[in-house]
Amino acid sequence: MTNGYDADVIIIGAGGGGAVVAKELGEKGIKVLVIEAGPWYGNKQWPEPNSSQGAASSSSYDDLSIDLLKASFTDLEDDMNNRVNGKLRWGPANRELPPWQRIGGQVWQNSGVGGSTLHYFGNSPRAIPQAIDNIWPINYNELVPYYERVEAALPVNPAPVTAKEELFYYGARKAGWSNLEGKELSTPGYRTQPNAILRPNPSINDPFFDIQSNRSVGCTLRVIV
Protein backbone atom coordinates (compact mmCIF):
# COMPACT_ATOMS: atom_id res chain seq x y z
CA MET A 1 0.00 0.00 0.00
CA THR A 2 1.17 3.55 -0.60
CA ASN A 3 -0.48 5.34 2.33
CA GLY A 4 1.93 4.20 5.02
CA TYR A 5 0.04 1.05 6.03
CA ASP A 6 1.45 -2.32 5.08
CA ALA A 7 -1.25 -5.00 4.92
CA ASP A 8 -1.98 -8.28 3.13
CA VAL A 9 -5.66 -8.11 4.05
CA ILE A 10 -7.96 -5.15 4.76
CA ILE A 11 -11.05 -5.77 6.87
CA ILE A 12 -13.77 -3.12 6.97
CA GLY A 13 -15.64 -3.20 10.27
CA ALA A 14 -14.30 -4.41 13.64
CA GLY A 15 -17.52 -6.10 14.71
CA GLY A 16 -18.42 -9.67 15.64
CA GLY A 17 -17.20 -10.95 12.26
CA GLY A 18 -14.36 -8.64 11.24
CA ALA A 19 -12.54 -8.62 14.57
CA VAL A 20 -12.53 -12.43 14.76
CA VAL A 21 -11.26 -12.79 11.19
CA ALA A 22 -8.50 -10.25 11.97
CA LYS A 23 -7.47 -12.24 15.06
CA GLU A 24 -7.39 -15.55 13.20
CA LEU A 25 -5.41 -14.16 10.25
CA GLY A 26 -3.06 -12.18 12.51
CA GLU A 27 -2.24 -15.30 14.53
CA LYS A 28 -1.19 -16.97 11.26
CA GLY A 29 1.30 -14.17 10.63
CA ILE A 30 -0.77 -12.40 7.97
CA LYS A 31 -0.62 -8.59 8.10
CA VAL A 32 -4.13 -7.28 8.68
CA LEU A 33 -5.44 -3.72 8.59
CA VAL A 34 -8.86 -3.22 10.21
CA ILE A 35 -10.80 -0.08 9.33
CA GLU A 36 -13.56 0.90 11.76
CA ALA A 37 -15.76 4.01 11.44
CA GLY A 38 -17.19 3.89 14.97
CA PRO A 39 -15.49 4.72 18.28
CA TRP A 40 -12.95 2.57 20.11
CA TYR A 41 -13.91 2.86 23.74
CA GLY A 42 -11.20 1.83 26.21
CA ASN A 43 -8.23 2.76 24.01
CA LYS A 44 -5.71 5.36 25.19
CA GLN A 45 -5.24 6.54 21.59
CA TRP A 46 -8.86 7.76 21.70
CA PRO A 47 -9.45 8.89 25.28
CA GLU A 48 -12.47 10.94 24.11
CA PRO A 49 -13.44 9.16 20.89
CA ASN A 50 -16.70 11.10 20.41
CA SER A 51 -15.32 14.60 20.88
CA SER A 52 -11.73 14.65 19.62
CA GLN A 53 -10.15 12.96 16.65
CA GLY A 54 -7.37 11.08 18.46
CA ALA A 55 -4.82 8.90 16.71
CA ALA A 56 -5.12 7.39 13.24
CA SER A 57 -4.44 3.82 14.33
CA SER A 58 -3.68 1.51 17.22
CA SER A 59 -1.94 -1.86 17.15
CA SER A 60 -0.55 -2.24 20.67
CA TYR A 61 -2.09 -4.07 23.63
CA ASP A 62 -0.63 -1.31 25.82
CA ASP A 63 -3.14 1.12 24.29
CA LEU A 64 -6.02 -0.78 25.93
CA SER A 65 -7.36 0.46 29.26
CA ILE A 66 -10.15 -1.19 31.26
CA ASP A 67 -10.44 1.95 33.40
CA LEU A 68 -11.06 4.07 30.32
CA LEU A 69 -13.66 1.56 29.11
CA LYS A 70 -15.49 1.58 32.46
CA ALA A 71 -15.43 5.39 32.54
CA SER A 72 -16.91 5.51 29.01
CA PHE A 73 -19.95 3.35 29.75
CA THR A 74 -22.81 4.17 32.09
CA ASP A 75 -25.93 2.26 33.16
CA LEU A 76 -28.22 5.06 31.99
CA GLU A 77 -30.41 3.95 29.11
CA ASP A 78 -30.30 7.23 27.20
CA ASP A 79 -26.53 7.69 27.57
CA MET A 80 -25.99 4.38 25.86
CA ASN A 81 -28.95 3.60 23.59
CA ASN A 82 -30.16 6.95 22.28
CA ARG A 83 -30.26 6.29 18.52
CA VAL A 84 -28.94 9.78 17.66
CA ASN A 85 -26.14 10.42 20.17
CA GLY A 86 -26.03 7.38 22.49
CA LYS A 87 -22.62 5.74 22.86
CA LEU A 88 -24.02 2.57 21.29
CA ARG A 89 -25.65 4.33 18.36
CA TRP A 90 -25.11 3.05 14.83
CA GLY A 91 -22.92 5.66 13.15
CA PRO A 92 -19.47 7.28 13.01
CA ALA A 93 -17.50 8.08 16.18
CA ASN A 94 -17.73 11.82 15.47
CA ARG A 95 -21.02 12.90 17.06
CA GLU A 96 -21.19 16.02 14.90
CA LEU A 97 -22.03 13.65 12.04
CA PRO A 98 -25.49 12.06 11.91
CA PRO A 99 -26.17 8.38 12.63
CA TRP A 100 -26.35 5.98 9.69
CA GLN A 101 -29.67 5.07 8.15
CA ARG A 102 -30.47 1.72 6.56
CA ILE A 103 -32.67 1.87 3.48
CA GLY A 104 -35.73 -0.33 4.01
CA GLY A 105 -35.94 -0.31 7.79
CA GLN A 106 -34.15 0.10 11.07
CA VAL A 107 -31.86 -2.66 12.34
CA TRP A 108 -30.55 -2.75 15.90
CA GLN A 109 -26.81 -2.54 15.38
CA ASN A 110 -23.95 -0.76 17.14
CA SER A 111 -20.80 0.67 15.65
CA GLY A 112 -17.30 0.80 17.07
CA VAL A 113 -14.55 -1.67 17.86
CA GLY A 114 -16.66 -4.65 18.94
CA GLY A 115 -19.53 -3.71 16.60
CA SER A 116 -22.89 -5.04 17.74
CA THR A 117 -21.17 -7.19 20.38
CA LEU A 118 -20.66 -3.95 22.34
CA HIS A 119 -24.26 -4.54 23.34
CA TYR A 120 -25.36 -8.14 23.08
CA PHE A 121 -26.82 -10.77 25.38
CA GLY A 122 -24.01 -13.30 25.23
CA ASN A 123 -26.36 -16.10 24.11
CA SER A 124 -24.13 -18.71 22.51
CA PRO A 125 -26.17 -21.80 21.65
CA ARG A 126 -25.12 -24.24 18.97
CA ALA A 127 -27.48 -24.67 16.03
CA ILE A 128 -29.42 -27.93 16.31
CA PRO A 129 -28.22 -30.67 13.90
CA GLN A 130 -31.56 -30.61 12.05
CA ALA A 131 -30.88 -26.99 11.07
CA ILE A 132 -27.59 -27.99 9.42
CA ASP A 133 -27.56 -31.60 8.24
CA ASN A 134 -28.69 -32.08 4.61
CA ILE A 135 -29.23 -28.31 4.33
CA TRP A 136 -25.68 -26.94 4.48
CA PRO A 137 -22.72 -28.49 2.61
CA ILE A 138 -21.25 -29.39 6.03
CA ASN A 139 -22.87 -31.33 8.85
CA TYR A 140 -23.24 -30.78 12.59
CA ASN A 141 -20.47 -33.23 13.53
CA GLU A 142 -17.98 -31.41 11.33
CA LEU A 143 -18.86 -28.16 13.11
CA VAL A 144 -18.42 -29.52 16.65
CA PRO A 145 -14.62 -28.92 16.91
CA TYR A 146 -15.17 -25.30 15.87
CA TYR A 147 -18.02 -24.86 18.34
CA GLU A 148 -15.77 -26.28 21.06
CA ARG A 149 -13.01 -23.86 20.19
CA VAL A 150 -15.32 -20.83 20.38
CA GLU A 151 -16.99 -22.10 23.56
CA ALA A 152 -13.59 -22.38 25.25
CA ALA A 153 -12.42 -18.96 24.02
CA LEU A 154 -15.44 -16.86 25.08
CA PRO A 155 -15.95 -18.81 27.51
CA VAL A 156 -19.46 -20.27 27.25
CA ASN A 157 -21.17 -21.55 30.41
CA PRO A 158 -24.74 -22.31 31.50
CA ALA A 159 -26.62 -19.02 32.06
CA PRO A 160 -27.65 -18.16 35.63
CA VAL A 161 -31.02 -19.61 36.57
CA THR A 162 -33.77 -17.73 38.38
CA ALA A 163 -37.29 -18.78 39.46
CA LYS A 164 -38.58 -18.21 35.92
CA GLU A 165 -36.26 -20.82 34.42
CA GLU A 166 -36.87 -23.23 37.32
CA LEU A 167 -40.58 -23.14 36.46
CA PHE A 168 -39.81 -23.86 32.81
CA TYR A 169 -37.59 -26.82 33.81
CA TYR A 170 -40.36 -28.14 36.07
CA GLY A 171 -42.76 -28.06 33.10
CA ALA A 172 -40.21 -29.74 30.81
CA ARG A 173 -39.62 -32.54 33.35
CA LYS A 174 -43.38 -33.05 33.76
CA ALA A 175 -43.65 -33.35 29.96
CA GLY A 176 -41.11 -36.18 30.04
CA TRP A 177 -38.03 -34.40 28.76
CA SER A 178 -34.66 -34.89 30.40
CA ASN A 179 -32.07 -32.29 31.30
CA LEU A 180 -29.21 -32.14 28.80
CA GLU A 181 -25.87 -31.70 30.51
CA GLY A 182 -23.18 -29.98 28.49
CA LYS A 183 -23.50 -28.41 25.07
CA GLU A 184 -24.06 -31.50 22.92
CA LEU A 185 -27.37 -31.29 21.01
CA SER A 186 -27.76 -34.66 19.29
CA THR A 187 -30.45 -35.91 21.67
CA PRO A 188 -33.77 -34.17 22.50
CA GLY A 189 -34.30 -32.60 25.90
CA TYR A 190 -34.12 -29.28 27.71
CA ARG A 191 -31.11 -27.41 29.00
CA THR A 192 -29.87 -24.22 30.55
CA GLN A 193 -29.03 -21.62 27.93
CA PRO A 194 -25.31 -21.50 27.00
CA ASN A 195 -24.12 -17.95 27.60
CA ALA A 196 -20.90 -15.94 27.51
CA ILE A 197 -21.85 -13.16 29.94
CA LEU A 198 -19.47 -13.06 32.86
CA ARG A 199 -20.71 -14.46 36.17
CA PRO A 200 -23.41 -12.36 37.87
CA ASN A 201 -23.61 -11.39 41.50
CA PRO A 202 -23.97 -14.69 43.42
CA SER A 203 -26.64 -13.08 45.63
CA ILE A 204 -29.03 -12.77 42.68
CA ASN A 205 -31.29 -15.56 44.01
CA ASP A 206 -31.21 -14.43 47.66
CA PRO A 207 -34.72 -13.08 48.49
CA PHE A 208 -33.22 -10.87 51.24
CA PHE A 209 -30.55 -9.42 48.99
CA ASP A 210 -30.54 -5.64 49.41
CA ILE A 211 -29.95 -4.28 45.94
CA GLN A 212 -29.63 -0.67 47.10
CA SER A 213 -27.00 -1.07 49.79
CA ASN A 214 -25.03 -3.59 47.72
CA ARG A 215 -24.80 -1.06 44.90
CA SER A 216 -25.64 -3.68 42.31
CA VAL A 217 -26.17 -2.50 38.76
CA GLY A 218 -26.95 -3.81 35.29
CA CYS A 219 -28.71 -6.86 33.90
CA THR A 220 -26.61 -9.30 35.92
CA LEU A 221 -26.78 -7.22 39.12
CA ARG A 222 -23.04 -7.03 39.23
CA VAL A 223 -21.48 -5.22 42.17
CA ILE A 224 -19.69 -1.90 41.68
CA VAL A 225 -16.21 -2.19 43.14
Ligand X SMILES: Cc1cc2nc3c(=O)[nH]c(=O)nc-3n(C[C@H](O)[C@H](O)[C@H](O)COP(=O)(O)OP(=O)(O)OC[C@H]3O[C@@H](n4cnc5c(N)ncnc54)[C@H](O)[C@@H]3O)c2cc1C
User: Which residues are near ligand X by CB under 6 A?
Assistant: 12-18, 35-38, 108-109, 111-112, 115-117, 119-123
Least distance between ligand X and beta carbon 210 (Å) = 29
Least distance between ligand X and beta carbon 195 (Å) = 8
Report residue 5: phi and psi, to 5°. -100, 140
Quick one: 68 or 88, whose CB is closer to ligand X? 88
CB atoms under 10 Å from CB of 216, counted, come to: 18
CA distance 39 to 47: 10
Which residues does 110 contact at the CB level (< 8 Å), separation at least 6? Answer: 38, 88, 89, 90, 116, 118, 119
Cα-Cα-Cα-Cα dihedral sign, residues 53, 55, 58, 62: negative
Quick one: 53 or 214, whose CB is closer to ligand X? 53
Quick one: 21 or 177, whose CB is closer to ligand X? 21
Please choose, from the candidates 12, 54, 2, 56, the residue with its C-alpha nearest in 3D space to the C-alpha of residue 34: 12
Least distance between ligand X and beta carbon 197 (Å) = 9
Quick one: 154 or 209, whose CB is closer to ligand X? 154
Least distance between ligand X and beta carbon 127 (Å) = 11
Please give the residue whose beta carbon sits closest to ligand X in the complex: 15
CA atoms within 13 A on the CB side of 119: 19
